Structures are given as C-alpha cells and as structure tokens.
Amino acid sequence: MNENGALRVFLVDDHALIRSGIRAELGAHVDVVGEADEVGSAIELILERTPDVVLLDVHMPGGGGLAVIEAVSKRAPDVRFLALSVSDAAEDVIAVIRAGARGYVTKSISGPELIEAVHRIAEGDAVFSQHLAGFVLDAFASQDPPPGATLPALDPELDQLTPREREVLRFIARGYAYKDVARELSISVKTVESHVSAVLRKLQLSNRYQLTHWATERRLL
C-alpha cells in the first residue's frame, strides 16, 4: 500500500496498447507504480519498487512471464502475481501457477472484474477465469487445492485418466517419441508404453495420431 491506502500495482506486457488499456481500466482505483515491456527491465523495476501486485502477460519474447515470476519470487516473496493472457490453454495456466502466480485471467476480463481480481489477489485469494477453475484444480488435485472454489464438471473422458497418464498424454500428443518422453519424465520406455496403452484403451483410440487430434480439440496443448 502507498500513503493513500491504494494498492500498488506493476504492469508487465510487451504491448503498449494493452498496458495503456489496463491503466485506463484500473484508473484511480489503484496506484500503477511502474511498467515494463520485457523480462529484464521487469525484474529490475519490480525489485526496486516492490508493488503489492504484478499484472503480467504470460506470452512475451525472452522467456515470457514465467522468467519474471521465478526471478522475483526468490528475492521478493511478498510480491503477488496475477497472470493475464489471451490464451486459455491448460498448459500455460499450469506452468504459470507452478511458477508462483496467484491467479490467471484472460484478457476478455472487464475493467471492474479486473479491479476486483487485483484486490482479491492482494488479499491472498486465488483468482481464476470461470472456465479455467476445473483445469487448475484437476492438475493440483494431488497437492493442495486452492481455497474455497467450487469446481465445475470436468471432462468425463479426461477424468478417467490418472495424473501420470495425463502427463504422458501431453508429450505424446505433441509428437514426442517414447524414448523422449521416458527421458523427460525419467522413467523407462517400457513404462511409457504402459501408460500410452492405458490412455489409448481408456479413450478408445487406436493410435497416436488420433490422440493428437483428441488433445487438440480439447485445447490441452
């Protein structure tokens, strides 16, 4: 907080237009203490100005928002991040949450909604776009679920896969060879085969090609 009691917010986005839009929408409700259009200066300025909340784009040249979150979190753990993106791909969401963001909203959010989201993040809540909640909870089911969110119905077919199978599925659907998946996950090729067999059987598919399409349709890539 600054001397007026307003939240101190920092913006990171490589598009000047969008930074401008955010500033216009947030208006007088918060104090925008700085902004950056690329990773390096973002890290530097955030550490210097220690805002309450950093609003940042996930997709940026030079490593993207992930690099910013990781670098800042180590040295200024009190700074909270709200990821802002045009993408609602499950992978992006998971990665950015893993890195330490407290929320993830798409750019279709309205001004008032964004203001509320920023305040909730500052108070320690987790904030997600409506249709993302399921994905996020699903991925973190094994660990600690975010506080007080009711989850919408998950994909019944995706639901019958075990977490490990889903992990393997993502690699396979992207065109990884079995041995590449094995190396990525540090398991044997034979185990990968087992998982793939299980996935194909459960989803009633007959080969990897269909798996790629299945995953693409569900926007898992």
Which residues of this protein are in contact with its own copies, per CB under 8 A? 14-25, 86, 107-111, 114, 172, 174-175, 177, 205-213, 216, 221
H/E element holding 172? helix 163-173
Separation between Cα atoms, residue 187 and residue 193, nearest integer Å: 11
User: What is the smallest separation between the CB atom of 206 and DNA, expressed in angstroms?
Assistant: 5
**Overall residue count recorded for the chain in this entry:** 221
177 is an interface residue for DNA by CB under 7 A: yes
Contacting DNA within 201-220 (CB under 7 A): 201, 206-209
Q: Which does 165 bind (CB under 5 to 8 A by kind): DNA, its own copies, none?
A: DNA
Contacts of 21 (CB under 8 A, 6+ apart): none
Quickly count helices (H) and strands (E) in the chain. Answer: 11, 6
Which one, 114 or 138, has the nearer CB to its own copies? 114
23, 10 contact by CB (below 8 A): no
2 is an interface residue for DNA by CB under 7 A: no
Q: Which does 94 bind (CB under 5 to 8 A by kind): its own copies, DNA, none?
A: none
Q: Which does 195 bind (CB under 5 to 8 A by kind): DNA, its own copies, none?
A: DNA
Neighbours of 55 (CB within 10 A): 28
162 is an interface residue for DNA by CB under 7 A: yes
Contacts of 114 (CB under 8 A, 6+ apart): 22, 25, 26, 105
Which one, 45 or 187, has the nearer CB to DNA? 187
56, 35 contact by CB (below 8 A): no
12, 55 contact by CB (below 8 A): yes
* Coil, helix or strand at residue 69: helix
Tokens representing residue 26 in the block: 């947030």
User: What is the smallest separation between the CB atom of 183 and DNA, expressed in angstroms?
Assistant: 11
Separation between Cα atoms, residue 21 and residue 218, nearest integer Å: 30
User: What is the smallest separation between the CB atom of 16 and its own copies, expressed in angstroms?
Assistant: 5
Q: Which does 12 bind (CB under 5 to 8 A by kind): DNA, its own copies, none?
A: none
Q: Which does 188 bind (CB under 5 to 8 A by kind): DNA, its own copies, none?
A: DNA
Q: Which of 23, 107, 164, 174 binds DNA (CB under 7 A)?
A: 164
187 is an interface residue for DNA by CB under 7 A: yes
What does the binding site for DNA look like in residue numbers (CB under 7 A)?
162-165, 172, 177-179, 185, 187-191, 193-197, 200-201, 206-209
